[in-house]
Structure 1
Amino acid sequence: MSTLQDETHTPNITASELVYRGAVWDVRRETFDLPEAPGLVRDMMAHTGAVGVAVVDEQQRILLIQQYRHPVRARLWEVPAGLLDVAGEDPFDAAKRELVEEADLTAKRWEVLSDSCLTPGGSSETMRLFLARDISLVPEAERHERSEEEAGLRFRWVDIDEALDAVVMGRITNAIAQLAILQVSRVLRAEAEGSPVSLRSVEAPRRLVDGRADFGRGAEVITDED
């Protein structure tokens, strides 16, 4: 039986146009052919990609951060996360940066929990989720000054069973937080039973790459008047 895994596939792309240039993300319209369906047209968010960090302390609690998210008009409980918006930055370096900037923490022990396509029907975004343990506080004089939505962050260390209940009861709706809580629960339960889960190292390659070289912002914007 073959290994259960996603398969990368690049179809014949006959047209690719930047139709909207946004403040953070662009929207690209592409026409492409699949063997089973030629001439398909899709609009998609050209995303930089992102990283997330599930932080676990010595008491086996997970760190959750509450942040306002305007598209859903809500303050959501999440895990530390951020965009891969620094050119050429390695996801592991980005995760360490986000942990410092959003949580005032560093960690000595890092592993990969998962790689995810968050909304593959409409966005090129993939996220690498890390597990961070053996944590330390960043000295107060060296902490990042948070601004905009991040200025209102709230922090809470949560027992993993309480976090699971919040997911099941619909009180935590952020998908990355849900995934982090479920993954951490699996890891901690296995370790408590003496059967540790084998996790990937931070150098483990990603199968899926966010966007493509032609997803940049240099292309001409196509408008209704063109």
Structure 2
Amino acid sequence: MTAYDVRSHTERLRNRVFSIVTDAIEMPGGEVVDRDYMVHVGAVGVVALDADGRVALVRQYRPAVRQVLWELPAGLIDVPGESLVGAAARELAEEADLVAARWDLLADVHPSPGCSNERIRLFLAREIAPVPQQERHERTHEEADLELHWIDLDQAVTMALSGEITNAACVIGVLGAAQSRARDWATLRPATDAT
């Protein structure tokens, strides 16, 4: 395969979550072309399953699509030194008021590789319990209206395949969890897997 050498890299915009860059890339045949994309800090998502086979899904407003979407509890990798499974546990507690005793790695996802390097690591969380009331995170902005719903995993699969769930991480997480369950969880990897 061609090397696609990057001849130059120019940052156009930066904020706390992402930057927009332009790379001059050598194409097959030698032509150099500009390609713009987003460099993202990365994220984690959690498929939290309870003992009854229900998945914890949240409803969250997303300004970019101007809709309230079905999503997994998820968030940015933005705490220095925090492990990925630690970030997932933090997001589960903050967005769903839940903790989990068992964590496994479910999938790694590039949701929009045509325009972003964002990578989302999806975890399966089981042995679920509520966060004590006095320890719950105070949610603000879009998160203030988060609604937690417990949906049977098979119903969530139907929602994903019918287009009711459109968030890429949620679709992949729900389908991945259902497939892993069908294989008696043999496809899961350790939560600390670095690959």
Per the normalisation by structure 1, the TM-score is 0.81
Residues 117-160 of structure 1: per-residue CA shift (max 9 Å, x gap): 11111111001000000011111101100001000001110111
Is the contact made by 1:48 and 1:125 (CA closer than 8 Å) also made in structure 2?
yes
Per-residue deviation at 1:37? 5.1
Distance 1:173 1:112 in 2: 22
Which residue pairs with 2:113 in the alignment?
120
Is the contact made by 1:60 and 1:188 (CA closer than 8 Å) also made in structure 2?
no
Which residue pairs with 1:19 in the alignment?
12
Do the aligned partners of residues 109 and 36 (structure 1) sit closer, same or farther apart at CA in structure 2, a change above 3 Å counting? farther
Is the contact made by 1:110 and 1:131 (CA closer than 8 Å) also made in structure 2?
yes
Residues 148-185 of structure 1: per-residue CA shift (max 9 Å, x gap): 10000011101112111112221111111111110111
Q: Secondary structure at the match of 1:72?
A: coil
Which residue pairs with 1:153 in the alignment?
146
AA at the equivalent of 1:204: D
Which residue pairs with 2:180 in the alignment?
187
AA at the equivalent of 1:128: R
Residues matched between the structures, number = 195
Gaps in structure 2 of 5+ consecutive residues: none
Per the normalisation by structure 2, the TM-score is 0.93
Deviates more, 1:34-43 or 1:171-180: 34-43
Distance 2:71 2:192 in 1: 25
Which residue pairs with 1:92 in the alignment?
85
Residues 30-86 of structure 1: per-residue CA shift (max 9 Å, x gap): 112245554131111110010000000000111110000011111001000001112
Which residue pairs with 2:66 in the alignment?
73
Gaps in structure 1 of 5+ consecutive residues: 1-6, 207-226
Runs of 4+ in 1 over 3 A off after TM superposition: 34-38
Which residue pairs with 1:202 in the alignment?
191
Is the contact made by 1:108 and 1:133 (CA closer than 8 Å) also made in structure 2?
yes
Which residue pairs with 1:217 in the alignment?
none
Q: Secondary structure at the match of 2:82?
A: coil
Identity over aligned pairs, percent: 41
Per-residue deviation at 1:10? 7.2
Higher strand share: 2
Cα RMSD (Å) of the superposition?
A: 1.9
Per-residue deviation at 1:187? 2.1
Which residue pairs with 1:224 in the alignment?
none
Q: Secondary structure at the match of 1:136?
A: strand
AA at the equivalent of 1:197: A
Out of 132, 153, 164, the residue aligned to residue 139 of structure 1 is: 132
Distance 1:85 1:31 in 2: 28
Alignment of 1:3-14 (within 5 A): 11-14=4-7
